[in-house]
Amino acid sequence: MEDYERELYGVEDDFDSQFAAELEVLAELEGTAALSPSRSPRPAPTVGRPRLTFEEAIAGGDAATDCSPGGPPGSGSGGARKRQLTADIQADTFLPPTPRIKRSKLDAARRLNFRPDEMEELLPPDSPTRGITPPPSPEVPAELCDNGSLDTGADVGLTGASPAARNPVLRRPPVLEDYINVTSTGGDRAFLVLRDEPVGTAVQGSFLDMRRRGRGQLDLLGVSFASLKEEVDSERRRQLLEEAQQLSDTLCSLRAEEEEEEAQPTGAPEEEPAPHQDASQHCLWVDEFAPRRYTELLSDDFTNRCLLKWLKLWDPVVFGRERPARKPRPSVELAPSGKEATASGKWKSHEQVLEEMLEAELDPSGRPRQKVALLCGPPGLGKTTLAHVIARHAGYCVVEMNASDDRSPEAFRTHIEAATQMESVLGTSGRPNCLVIDEIDGAPTAAINVLLSVLDRRGPQEAESGAPAMPAGGGRRRRAEGGPLMRPVICICNDQFAPSLRQLKPQALLLQFPPTLPSRLTQRLQEICLRQGVQAGPGALAALCEKTDNDIRACINALQFLHGRGRRTLSVQAVQTTRVGLKDQRKGLFSVWQEVFQLPRAQRRHMGQDLTLPTPTLLLGDGHTGLGSLATASQQFYHILHAAASTGEHEKVVQGLFDNFLRLRLRDSSLGTVCEALDWLAFDDLLGRAAHHGQNFQLLRYPPFLPPAFHLLFATSHVPRIAYPSSQQEAQSRRSRTQNLIETLVSGITPAARSRAAPQALVLDTLCLLLDILAPKLRPVSTQLYSAREKQQLASLVGTMLAYSLTYRQARTPDGQYVYRLEPNVEEVCRFPELPARKPLTYQAKQLLAREIELEKMRRAEAAARAGHSPQVDKGPPGGTGEKGVQPPAPCSHKQRLECVLKSTALEEQPERDFFGRVVIRRAAAVSSANTAPEPDSAERRMGTAVGRSDVWFRFKEGVSNAVRRSVYVRDLL
């Protein structure tokens, strides 16, 4: 109730100021001056109140009866009417007739306040307060129907003071106007007609909002106004702080002296918490605690320094500063991280290479050799932050573009050119741009090519158009010879092996981010916890780091999440049990296999105490192991389970395990673990088959436990050498090849042999021995010199090979030699690769065999042909002679008939073509032909009749001709 009151007071203030004039009028009219309109009716005694409504009802009644909306409410007739009406409806009419004016005033006041929520005001009060009440139904219409008259009454007193009052309230939805409906708590519904009133609605709207919120906490704004205000204030403060920060940064960079801990940086963090406490729900801690200065960076010092050095190499071109002498350089560069540098001592070779690269001379145009720096590393290491901080530190204005958003080459080009060749005029105090391209591995190759072409541009022809204006005067001369790209470009990627980056990498300064040191991360997390009031032990924070793989962003987000959930203390247990901070990132297959086969380092530390623990017994479940080790084991179990499930490719994982587990160093000499593992694999296969054959997918919940089982069986501290599984694919392709081979073989076998050689029997029983049969000893001499037995042997060999449709075919080996190969090559099917090869036939023998087989084939084909055509061949001559000789008396066949016809026509024609061939005879012939008109085609006619006049016809029947089936009884045969 307190805040409600306060709320109201706040409202009143506003209201008072806005409606000062009206309130004044009200105060004059009414005795109760300056009473807040919202409160005045509320605490008013119920007696006055119902009377009021009652009067309204009465007024409604008379308005309804006399139907004169324009009539002044003060008229006597109205009063008289009203009195009658009230007498009709109710017993007590104790109202004095005089307070007419006052009623109207009260009315006005009432309307002013309660118009918006009048159902609440109107309906409930009269039912409970008065024993005798007009039923709510007449009451409301009374209010509703006569609103016009009431309004006029109100208007007498105060014109326009209550604009809302003009809204008629209707019982039924109005037909023509817009309306809103209002339902009272009692369930009655009324309809408010909407009218636009430019002054009134706004005021009333805000008023309404305030009122509503005050009563029912209906936050229409979403956030309370007060908090909004605070937010704006804090925003303003933060902006100021940031400007101060930038100013200090520029100052620092301009001075080019290293800023160690000074007054402002300590001041800034101290100030910041205050606004951030309020804004903490709006701002991610990651942004809030992002490092703003070089010294706050968490990432690897060497990387930071390299990038900074590289950026400084641009100084001569960009700022026109001469390269500082070698002497002050180390002090400048190494000062911020001096203690780390001394601590780490000497650098590795890779780092030395990098150093040399950075120490190298600039190219002729005064730019560093590498025009681009490529930062790569897994997410959450602070690459983007590093780029921003360092660029700002070196005095650049950071222009960031996200390559995975602007993917098209055009957008890429415009962005790059805008960033590298222009300079923002406003706000950045003339700093040169530094382009930061984030997530460049998401860009397509075309876009990268655009970037490359920009990098490669050089030469004077480009220089006039492309070179940016240099801030320093010294740059003008250099511009003529320099290339157009005069601004540093920093690219950031997660995967440096993305194919699109292949072109870019040789031209870029490749900086790989090592994982953040857990100690530094823990320290930073501790600071954050301190500032945010989270109690967290270093153990818990270390656990969090470990869980997130030292991902800074994930750590801080997890912290904020836990904080936001109301946990103020953080324990190791909580970190390990919550699912917060787990990356949704898929793990690669290799990392999963590695995890399965290798004990994690942390666990190795734990296992130091209980190295005696035999993991197989743990798996079997009868091991008496310490509680601690059991806990770690189960934790490990779940870890592996999760990791294996996260790949989403169970089959591949299992195949990899299967292919690799025998290559590991086995601790168990009795191969018990191997048997166990094989059992698991068989079980997995069974489950998979049952699940997929029978659509029994509930079984699929069991296979994921195979990797943990393998882990428990085989995990060692050695680094396993893992090969990508290929055995499955090899086996499958080989199987299909063999199957094809056997199919071709079987299809070629002669039917007699095939009837006894089903494919399986062929593979299992026949082929292996057949190969032995096919390799007899043949003397390497000409077949002419073979003995009869040898000849028979050869013949049988050829017969066998033909029966299985095997032959030798010449082929050329890759090294240019010719060999004869068995075809189809059955040897592949039935010979185990590791077994010693059978002694093969010599090349000559194979050649001989091949030739013999060909010959035999030809011989057989010829024999078959002869057998098939023998009737024709044999009958040909005798049939022909027989027909000609014997048949003439018999009814002549077509041929003979046709021959006769032809002969006769020939005979007929022959006389015409006499030896002399004279015209006379031809004329005679012509005459004769003219005489006998149908004659000329007599030959054809006769041929036609000869063909068509046969006594036998053939009628073709379509379809399948099944053999005629007749039942024959044995008694008929006897």
Partner 1 sequence: MVQIVVSSAGAGGLAEWVLMELQGEIEARYSTGLAGNLLGDLHYTTEGIPVLIVGHHILYGKIIHLEKPFAVLVKHTPGEQDCDELGGESGTRYLVTALIKNKILFKTRPKPIITNVPKKV
Which residues make up the interface to partner 1 (CB under 8 A)? Answer: 867-869, 871-872, 876, 890-891, 893-895, 937, 940-941, 943-944, 947-948, 950-958, 961, 970, 973-974
Kindly state the smallest distance separating residue 937's Cβ from partner 1, in Å: 8
- Specify the 3-state DSSP secondary structure of 190: strand
The pairing of beta strand 189-193 with beta strand 169-170: antiparallel
Query: For 956, what's the count of Cα atoms within 13 Å in the CB-facing half-sphere?
Result: 2
Say how far apart CA 51 and CA 704 lie, in whole Å: 78
What's the N-to-C CA distance of the chain in angstroms? 125
Least CB distance to partner 1 at residue 929 (A): 17
Q: Which is nearer to partner 1, 156 or 943 (CB)?
A: 943
Q: Are strands 179-183 and 189-193 parallel, antiparallel or unpaired?
A: antiparallel
CB-wise, 663 or 866, nearer to partner 1?
Answer: 866
Closer CB to partner 1, 308 or 946, in the complex? 946
Cβ(249)–Cβ(392) below 8 Å? yes
| Smallest gap from residue 902 Cβ to partner 1 (A) | 12
Pick between residue 425 and residue 960 the one whose CB is nearest to partner 1. 960
Q: Quick one: tokens of 820?
A: 């004869």
Q: What is d(CA 240, CA 438) in angstroms, rounded to the nearest whole number?
A: 28
- CB of residue 871 to partner 1, shortest distance in Å: 6
How near is the Cβ of 972 to partner 1 at its closest, in Å?
Answer: 9
Minimum CB separation of residue 943 from partner 1 in Å reads 5
Question: What is the nearest approach in angstroms of partner 1 to the Cβ of residue 750?
Answer: 14
Cβ–Cβ under 8 Å, residues 373 and 307: yes
For residues 662, 666, 671 and 672, what is the CA-based torsion angle, rounded to 10 degrees? -110
Q: Which two tokens stand for residue 324?
A: 């500082």
In the bound state with partner 1, the residue whose beta carbon lies nearer, of 915 and 969, is 969
Q: Rounded CA gap, 705 and 644, in Å? A: 9
Distance of CA 742 to the CA centre of its chain: 45
Smallest gap, in angstroms, from Cβ of residue 742 to partner 1? 27
CB of 961 to partner 1, least distance (A): 4
Sheet holding 372-376, edge to edge: 397-402, 433-438, 489-493, 372-376, 508-512
Task: Closer to partner 1 by CB, 920 or 973: give it.
Answer: 973
Smallest distance from the beta carbon of 768 to partner 1, in angstroms? 32
Tell me how far, at minimum, the Cβ of 967 lies from partner 1, in Å: 17
Cis status, amide bond into 824, omega within 30 of 0: yes
Please classify residue 346 by burial: count the beta carbons closer than 10 Å to its beta carbon, then call 0-12 exposed, 13-18 middle and 19+ buried: exposed
CB nearer partner 1, residue 199 or residue 970: 970
Please state, in angstroms and rounded to a whole number, the distance separating the CA atoms of residues 708 and 837.
42
- Residue whose CB is less far from partner 1, 452 or 943: 943
- Indicate the SS3 state at residue 510: strand
Q: Are 429 and 489 in contact (CB under 8 A)?
A: no
Three-class SS string for 808-832? Answer: EEEEECCCCCEEEEEECCCHHHHCC
Q: Output 663 or 875, the one with its CB closest to partner 1.
A: 875
Of the pair 789, 957, the CB lying nearest partner 1 is at 957
Nearer Cβ to partner 1, position 46 or 870?
870
CB burial readout 768-796, b (16+ within 10 A) else e = eebbeebbeebeeeeeeeeeeebeeebee
Nearer to partner 1, 196 or 951 (CB): 951
Q: Which amino acid is at 846?
A: K
| Residue placing its CB nearer to partner 1 in the complex, 263 or 952 | 952
Distance from C-alpha of 208 to C-alpha of 842, rounded to nearest angstrom:
108
Give me the least distance between CB of 766 and partner 1, in Å please: 25
Cβ at position 879, least distance to partner 1 in Å: 9
Q: Are 243 and 292 in contact (CB under 8 A)?
A: no
Residue 704 CA to residue 691 CA, distance in Å, equals: 13
At residue 753's C-alpha, the angle toward residues 748 and 758, to 5°, is: 80
Contacts 24+ apart (CB under 8 A), 685-693: 688/651
CA separation for the pair 411, 391 (Å, rounded): 23
Q: How far is the CB of 692 from partner 1 (least distance, A)?
A: 46
The least CB distance from residue 931 to partner 1, in Å, is 22
Which is nearer to partner 1, 25 or 939 (by Cβ)?
939
Nearer residue to partner 1 within complex by CB, 341 or 943: 943
What would the two tokens of residue 502 be?
A: 């292949």
Half-sphere exposure of 905 (CA within 13 A, CB side): 14
In angstroms, what CA-CA distances link 78 with 89, 104, 149, 530, 770?
Answer: 16, 14, 11, 77, 128
